[in-house]
Structure 1
Amino acid sequence: MTAAETSADALLGQALVEEATKKSGLIWVQGEGPARALWHAWHDGAAHLVGDGPGEQPLAGLTDGGSAEVTVRSKDKGGRLVAWTATVTELAPHSEAWEAAVAELKGKRLNAPDGERMTGRWAAECRVLRLTPRDARTDLPDASLAAPPLPTSATTRHAAPEALPRLLLKRKKR
C-alpha cells in the first residue's frame, strides 16, 4: 500500500467517524469497565459527554487523560458502523472549550428537570468530557460482541397487573 493510499484511508476513516457520530443519538463507550450507551454532542472534531451528576448519565471508567473505545451504530439499521479509539479529556467548568461544548450539549439534553439552570448545575455537579478520535476501524468483528445488560435500579419489580391486557385491548377496539 502506498503512502497516498494510507493517507486517503485515514481521511476516509476520519470522515466516517465524524459523520456517523454526528448522526447517531447514542454511542457505546468503554473506558475502564463495561461499555455504556451514552448520549453526546459532536462539536469541534470530538464527541462531548456530560454526566456523573444527579439525574445525568454515569461516566464511570472514563478518566481525564485516559482512553476509551467508542462504537457508533448506524442510525437507520442500528448495527455497528464504525469503532474508534478516543483520548478522554475533562473540560474545566466555564473554560472556553467547556462553554462551547455545553452550548451544543444543552440542545441535545432531553427532559432536563431544571431548564435554564441546567448549565450552572453541570458546572457545579457534573463532568463534561471530550472524546477526541485517534483512529477508526471499519472492519466488522466475526463475533457478535453481545453482552448482558448492566445492572440498574430502573427495572420493573412487580408483575404487570392482570387487567392490563384487557385495558389495552379495549383501547384498540375504540
Structure 2
Amino acid sequence: MDEALKKAAVAWVSVADGPAYAVWCLSHGDALYVVSGPGEQSAPGLADARTARVTLRGDHGGRIITWSAEVTRLDPDGPEWTEVAPLVAAKRLNAPGTAAELVGRWATGCAVNRLVPAAGPATHGTALPDGSLAEPPRETPATRRTRRPFRLHRVRRR
C-alpha cells in the first residue's frame, strides 16, 4: 500500500455509501491530501466526513488497492496547513493566480482534507472484484442538449 500511496496522483474517493468520485490528490508522508469546494473539484460529503473509501490505480491504469481512510479537514490556522497547503497548490494544474493566492482562496472557501489509512485490512490482489464496476454517467448541470443541424443534406445552388 505504501508504494501505491507514494505514486498516487488520482484517487477514487467515496463517502458513506455514495458513488466514488475521481479526484486529484497529493501524496505527502503517510497521507493523501484532497482539495474540494467551489472553484475546485467536486467530492460530495468529503469536507465533513470522518471516514471514506479510497481506491488507487497502478501503473497499468487499473485498480490495485482499496482501503478505508480516516478523514481530517485541515485548519487554515494550523501548523499542518502552512506546511501542506503550498505543496498542494504547487501540484494544482492550471490554477488561476499564484500558489499564494490559491492557498488564500482555499482558506476561505474550500476544504483541504487529509486521508490516512485506517486500521483494518485493505482490499488488494485477488480480493479485488474481477468486473469493471463501471456505472452509467451521472446527471450533471455541465451537459447541454446538442442542436440538430439546420440542414441535413447539401443544397445545390442554381
- 2:61 counterpart of 1:61: no
Map residues 2-151 of structure 1 onto 2, 5 A cutoff.
17-32=1-16, 33-53=18-38, 55-64=39-48, 66-74=50-58, 76-115=59-98, 116-134=100-118, 135-138=121-124, 139-151=127-139
Equivalent pair of 1:21/1:27 in contact (CA under 8 Å)? no
TM-score, length-scaled by structure 1: 0.73
Equivalent pair of 2:8/2:27 in contact (CA under 8 Å)? no
What displacement does 1:85 show?
0.6
Q: Report how many aligned residue pairs link the two structures.
A: 144
Q: Secondary structure at the match of 2:13?
A: strand
Equivalent pair of 2:36/2:47 in contact (CA under 8 Å)? no
In the alignment, residue 107 of structure 2 is paired with which amino acid?
A: A
When the two chains are superposed, the root-mean-square deviation of aligned CA atoms in Å is 2.2
Q: Distance in 2 between matches of 1:41 and 1:143?
A: 28
Which residue of 2 is the match for residue 155 of structure 1? 143
Q: Deviations over 1:93-112 (max 9, x none)?
A: 13111222212211210111
Deviating 4+ runs (over 4 angstroms): 159-162
Structure 2 segments unaligned to the other structure (5+ residues): 151-158
Structure 1 segments unaligned to the other structure (5+ residues): 1-16, 163-174
In the alignment, residue 46 of structure 2 is paired with which amino acid?
A: L
In the alignment, residue 151 of structure 1 is paired with which amino acid?
A: E
Identity of aligned residues (%): 44
Structure 1 residues 156 and 130 mapped into 2: Cα distance closer, same or farther (>3 Å)? same
Q: Distance in 2 between matches of 1:77 and 1:48?
A: 23
Q: Which one is further off, 58-67 or 23-32? A: 58-67
Q: Which one is further off, 19-28 or 41-50? A: 19-28
TM-score, length-scaled by structure 2: 0.80
Q: Distance in 2 between matches of 1:128 and 1:27?
A: 15
In the alignment, residue 77 of structure 1 is paired with which amino acid?
A: H
